[in-house]
Amino acid sequence: MLEPVPEDVLQDLHRRHAEPQRHYHDWSHIEALLGHLDGIASQLHDPQAVQYAILFHDAVYDPRAKDNERRSAELLITAAPPLPRRSLANACRMIEATEGHFLPDDLEDEARDDCAHFLDMDLGILGASPQRFAIYEDQIRREYAHVPDDAFREGRGQVLRHFAERETLYFSEWGKDRFEEQARSNLARSLAALEG
């Protein structure tokens, strides 16, 4: 799947994902999403755009910053990958959509469908086994080690409630079928622990 990606681009991405502040948002997260992509590439309209969205969506990751998504999309443009202009624009829009995990209204139908699958891949961790979800929760806490416990519980609770209060967590039928039920259980358990 990574064969068409220029080697210098891959090397830079590997370097970025090995930064010390990363505990969940490292290269293993990218590999997990690429594994999902391998399984559903035939369902996508532009799998190469989704591939680049996966590779770059956390390329800039500073837990203290609020513009990681925008800067990651800008980095994709700067990297000038061998993508058609429309594919590049759609990949950037997918990356920007990870800020709030909402489907953008300004995408055409096919790109919107691809974005739905991409966002669902990115939130697949919420629907992981309870054991893997617990590891993820610990990894996120380590990424926010600079935040005091009380402030972390409050902020993390807001994030998880944001997802739990949605009518559906996932946008595609693939995501709903694969992750929704387990994700609801994981979120409920995590919120109970945070609030308890």
Torsional sign, CA 1, 181, 113, 62: negative
Q: Measure Cα distances from 141 to 145, 156, 165 in Å.
A: 6, 9, 22
- Confidence band for 177, pLDDT divided at 50, 70 and 90: very high
Q: Are 157 and 194 in contact (CB under 8 A)?
A: yes
Q: What residue segments make up the domains of the chain, in order of their start?
A: 1-122, 126-196
| Tens of pLDDT, residues 24-48 | 999 999 999 999 999 999 999 999 9
| Tens of pLDDT, residues 96-110 | 999 999 999 999 999
Q: Is the pLDDT of residue 196 over 90?
A: no
| Tens of pLDDT, residues 59-76 | 999 999 999 999 999 999
- What whole-number distance in Å separates Cα of residue 123 and Cα of residue 103? 13
Q: Are 50 and 37 in contact (CB under 8 A)?
A: yes
Q: Is 174 exposed, middle or buried (0-12, 13-18, 19+ CB in 10 A)?
A: middle
